[in-house]
Structure 1
């Protein structure tokens, strides 16, 4: 049995609720971060203080954490240090929005959780998707769900992206603490996290694997120029799916959209794109018996 000191117990308790503790590493993501050199008690007592400023991309380490019950704004104060001569205190509620954990996955999550960036991506995705659809329609080219190729991988990829976005928003809706813990302690290993996060990470890996299969199959079934256009359209569909389902699920209507979309995607593929026959002469895929569209041979 391990016996912890009172200080160690406080540290473990703090980490379980706030997801970080001493020696945790952050990076400044805002343009500047103000730190107070004096002790938190002096700030609460309205004594004169000195302020130093850190700048974007500065690396920080948590040096100390102190609870000040008398502080009416925020009782949690965090001391962070850039180096041995540059350190200071700041309230947690001011510190955390201006920093990001020193991990590429956390930085990726922080970047794509920014409201302004999300709005920009929505507008950009809609414009790009509209332009891509217009180009594809004018050239009478292939596009997933409508004039699709004889491959289930593109349809499967679009469905997985939609399901992953819905599941991602569901975690934020119903178990935000699980996502917050993942944000501070990210990993790509689905076997080292809670079951809900494990399912999400499996879906992320599935997107990568199916995307590779979709690209490979498309390049085999279409000429290179047509394949590039088709894959561009597929990327646009996936981008719209991610944005649409991740946002609408936050308002609980994404689940209805997801059921309708999965039904639509599967119905379109089965009814219009799936081939069940192979030409006995040249081996080309055929949806129906009869004349082969490639060599013209009769298949009965």
Structure 2
């Protein structure tokens, strides 16, 4: 499934959009109409009100997901690489919450648990990378990225981007650089080599340097999926806290060709181009 939208009004955005390359099977330069045209399965509160995939609006008690409509046959040993940009904005309620996950699952059974479940808890035969913005007592507190398995949010390994783990609403610390709920554009890169069974995850906040969150971590993704194909996509949820959870663009390959240095997604510095394209993204929630 390869999708690229280049309407005249989107020319500025398209100039900075992901460039398709060998092995790429998903290529959303934006998500305009994707929830209604059959290219993406959207469930719960997920929608495409603009050119972004909004997994949840900035309202308490929401949950949403967007998956590939058909399973993707992965590379050898479940090899894949992916890049996407996201923005979490308009935090409210008790704290920015709850975050998003990038998921590979054997079956698309709708949503997992809401609130602290980030729309992922309880999803069997799956692997996910969580981008968590609420402190439920985990390592990394209110700002961490971790590896999840089989619908469990007990992440391992887990790390706070830019070593920032304190991001709260009451003192506006969530607006600080390094807090994923700060409303800025973030780029994420996930690369898994099924031959070596090594996983790497990197992120970059608009205006900051690229950093590696997970480095050569050993995991057999195929053993968790139980197959060499998967439904792939994103989940998010809010609880007593909320934020807009927006995915701005997305590219996935069945090889390891998508890398941080590969010009796969617009650089965070291209925010001006994204604005010209009319991408609005906002966010917030709390885990229960």
**Common topology (TM > 0.5):** no
Q: Which has the larger share of helix?
A: 1
Query: If you compute each CA radius of gyration, which structure gives the higher value, 1 or 2?
Result: 1
TM-score w.r.t. the length of structure 2 is 0.22
Asked which structure has the greater RCO (Cα within 8 Å, sep 6+), the reply is 2
TM-score w.r.t. the length of structure 1 is 0.22
